[in-house]
Amino acid sequence: MKTSKTLVFLVITVIVFLCISITLYRHQLNVLRDASLQKSSYGITLGEGVYFVGDPIHIFDIPLEEFSSVSSGDVNDTIYTKNKVKKEVLYENHKIFSVQLSPLKNRIGLFYYPDDSQENLEAKIFNIDQGVYKEIYHSNFHPWNVGGNLQWLGNDHVFFTVHCGSSCQGLILLDVITGKTHSTTIASMSSVKEKSYTIFPDWFSKKEFRFDGLINEMNGEMKDGKAYLVFKMVRDDGAALEEKRFLFTGNSLKFIN
């Protein structure tokens, strides 16, 4: 009888010990996980089940049909999301400032930092059809001087903004075939006595267009096989105004509305 009680006591002791050990082990795993996540520049949203995991992925290892899952993140990181898992996207182990697939999905344009100092940006075009890339532009600007992401205008041109002052921004157009550039300066005017307005000189003719409001966003769009430069306009209070659209032919802009 005494032996039976001793065995029962030993079994209970072992079970209690195992429960305590498992609890401590799980706690330690949670501590390590939290510490690891704090090192990630992306953070974590447990409620949505989104987290950062694994090694970075090379930009050209991402299938074209999944390119819509690539986006700009915080601190100029480019992020690829699949099944709620986020990975940093790199080009030849270099951080990417911005990247975009061309409308015909046969070219990739990207801005990346060529070295760890991140004091310069380079733009490259990767021709997917031929399996080679072509460097078309080397930015000598400091990263803070580049005002926006690289965007496609049609399939043979990209554009991006650069800072030039508190009330203006430069707009650069690049021909990815020839490497030729066009530039213009967009001025935003605002005062207490009159409503805000924007002046946009055409890249080619230098004709000045004046629009009520301020440019909140600019995009390149494709519709029915035609390329358009689109300005999303807003008032001083942020209320949306009618967008302004230009038909882009490759060597001219035609104001549509």
Q: Is the pLDDT of residue 14 over 80?
A: no
Confidence at residue 55, expressed as pLDDT on a 0 to 100 scale: 86
Which residue's structure tokens are 């700009």? 72
Q: Give the pTM.
A: 0.74
Calculate the alpha carbon distances from 109 to 87, 134, 148 in Å. 19, 10, 14
Confidence at residue 162, expressed as pLDDT on a 0 to 100 scale: 87
Give the separation between CA 97 and CA 79, rounded to whole angstroms: 10
Phi-psi region of 116 (alpha: psi -120 to 50; beta: other; left: phi over 0): alpha
Confidence at residue 85, expressed as pLDDT on a 0 to 100 scale: 87
Q: Which amino acid is present at 39?
A: K
142 contacts: CB under 8 Å, gap ≥ 6: 119, 120
Confidence at residue 155, expressed as pLDDT on a 0 to 100 scale: 96
What does the pLDDT average to over 207-235? Answer: 95
Q: Is the pLDDT of residue 138 over 50?
A: yes
- Of all residues in the chain, what percent carry a pLDDT higher than 90? 39
Q: Is the pLDDT of residue 253 over 70?
A: yes
Q: Which of 14-18, 175-179, 222-226 has the lowest mean pLDDT?
A: 14-18
Q: Helix, strand, or coil here: 242?
A: coil
Confidence at residue 30, expressed as pLDDT on a 0 to 100 scale: 46
Average pLDDT, the chain: 80
Confidence at residue 29, expressed as pLDDT on a 0 to 100 scale: 42
Confidence at residue 37, expressed as pLDDT on a 0 to 100 scale: 36
Confidence at residue 31, expressed as pLDDT on a 0 to 100 scale: 41
For residue range 94-114, what is the model confidence (pLDDT) as tens digits? 999 889 999 999 899 988 888
Q: Who has greater pLDDT, 18 or 94?
A: 94
Q: Are 176 and 136 in contact (CB under 8 A)?
A: yes
pLDDT classification of 20: cutoffs 50, 70, 90: low
What does the pLDDT average to over 120-127? Answer: 85
Q: Is the pLDDT of residue 223 over 50?
A: yes
Give the separation between CA 6 and CA 115, rounded to whole angstroms: 69
Q: Are 139 and 123 in contact (CB under 8 A)?
A: yes
Per domain, the residue ranges of the chain are: 41-140, 153-256
